[in-house]
Amino acid sequence: MENMILPEGFEWCRKAKYDVQVELGCYVITDSTPLKEGFEEQIVEENGAIVKYAVKSGFNILEQNNWTTSSNKPFILTGTVGERWPVKLSDMAAYDVDVATIGLDPMTISTKDPDDQEFMVAFNIPEEVSAKVIPSWAFADDGSIDESQIMIANSPSSMVDHNGGDYIVAKHIPDMPEYMELSEEERNTKETAQLYDPRIVNGSIMQTTYDHALTQDEIIAKYQESIHR
To the nearest whole percent, how much of the chain has pLDDT over 70? Answer: 98
Q: What is the pLDDT of residues 155-165, one digit of tens each?
A: 887 778 899 99
84 lies in the same domain as 154: no
Asked if residue 221 and residue 165 are part of one domain, the reply reads: yes
Domain check: are 104 and 122 in the same one?
no
Q: Is residue 190 part of a domain?
A: yes
Picking from 93, 110, 127, the residue at the C-terminal end of a domain is 110
How much is the pLDDT for 1?
A: 47
Q: Identify whether residues 145 and 169 lie together within a single domain.
A: yes
Q: State whether 171 and 126 are in the same domain.
A: yes
Residues of the chain with pLDDT under 70: 1-3, 228-229
User: What's the per-residue H, E or C state across the chain?
Assistant: CCCCCCCCCEEEEEECCCEEEEEECEEECCCCCCCCCCCEEEEEEECCEEEEEEECEEEECCCCEEEECCCCCCEEEECCCCCEEEECCHHHHHECCCHHHCCCCCEEEEECCHHHCCCEEEEECCCCCCEEECCHHHECCCCCECHHHCEEECCCCCCCCCCCCCEEEECCCCCCCCHHHCCHHHHCCHHHHHHHCCEEECHHHHHHHEEEECCHHHHHHHHHHHHCC
Query: Domain boundary residue among 77, 110, 143?
Result: 110
pLDDT of residue 54: 98
Out of 82, 110, 138, a domain closes at 110
Question: What pTM was estimated for this model as a whole?
Answer: 0.80
Is 125 within the bounds of a domain?
yes
The range of the structural domain enclosing residue 26 comes to 19-110
